[in-house]
Amino acid sequence: MNAVRSSTSLLVCGVFLAACSGNHPNTTSKDVTKETFSISSLVEESKQAPDSVIAKLNAQHHKFKVLERRTVPGPFTPPAMTYYSDFAVTLDKLPTINPGPGEYVHVMEGQRNGYNNLTIGVTETFPGGAPPMHSHEGEESHVLLEGDIVYALGDTLFTIKGPYVVNIPAGVPHAFKNIGNKTANLVVIFPTNIWKYDVLDFFPFEGKTFTDKFDSLRK
């Protein structure tokens, strides 16, 4: 009887110590440098050579050359907005684009989801990931709850740590880069129901290194 009690006590103590040490056999660690949400719905962006109208619109705000206009490919069928499923969509049902190295965006384009004046994107911005320098016809807002980002906003470079909201005026060239050590899920918001942007012939972060103290910039 004493031998049985001793064995039972040892077993209980062993389980308790294993739990406290975090060595539970079912414990798994998530790689925070990979995507937070699935990017299996990746699509190739539609690319249009800039015409005179696109060039003139951009020339009102900056001196850079427009390389191309990008949009999300079609066709699509607008929702009937009859059932609850027309009013809610999960990220895995949205098209995902890859604007630049280490940068993926789940695109909720308003015209495809029953909105008249709203488009939203949720990014998977890997460490070091960045979209190209680009512009939009309308204004834009960026929201990030957690992460370390460097921005190029017009002629200004600055670093910022989430949580934050960044205001990007209409037509202003901009880009951002994840300088943190894990994937950033940036939410981008547009007061339009169409997703489109113009890629410019300038990349503001090339040849520059940013510190993790958010206080200096080295060439």
Tell me the helices (H) and strands (E) count for the chain, helix number first. Answer: 2, 15
Lowest-confidence segment of 37-41, 103-107, 207-211 by average pLDDT: 207-211
Q: Where exactly are the structural domains of the chain?
A: 46-218
d(CA 180, CA 145): 13
The two three-digit tokens of residue 138, written as one number = 């309308």
Distance between CA 22 and CA 7 in Å, rounded? Answer: 23
Question: What is the rounded CA–CA span in Å between residue 75 and residue 85?
Answer: 20
CA distances from 202 to 27, 64, 67, 86, 140 (A): 45, 7, 10, 40, 20
Mean pLDDT of the chain, nearest integer:
88
Give yes or no for a contact between 86 and 166, defined as CB atoms under 8 angstroms apart: no
What are 91-150's pLDDT values in tens digits? 999 999 999 999 999 999 999 999 999 999 999 999 999 999 999 999 999 999 999 999
In CATH, what is the architecture of 46-218? Sandwich (2.60)
What digits encode the pLDDT tens for the residues 53-96? 999 999 999 999 999 999 999 999 999 999 999 999 999 999 99
pLDDT value of residue 3: 47
pLDDT computed for residue 210 by the predictor: 85
pLDDT level of residue 190 (50, 70, 90 thresholds): very high
16 vs 129 pLDDT, higher one:
129
pTM tops 0.95: no
Looking at residue 211, its pLDDT comes to: 65
Q: Are 202 and 74 in contact (CB under 8 A)?
A: no
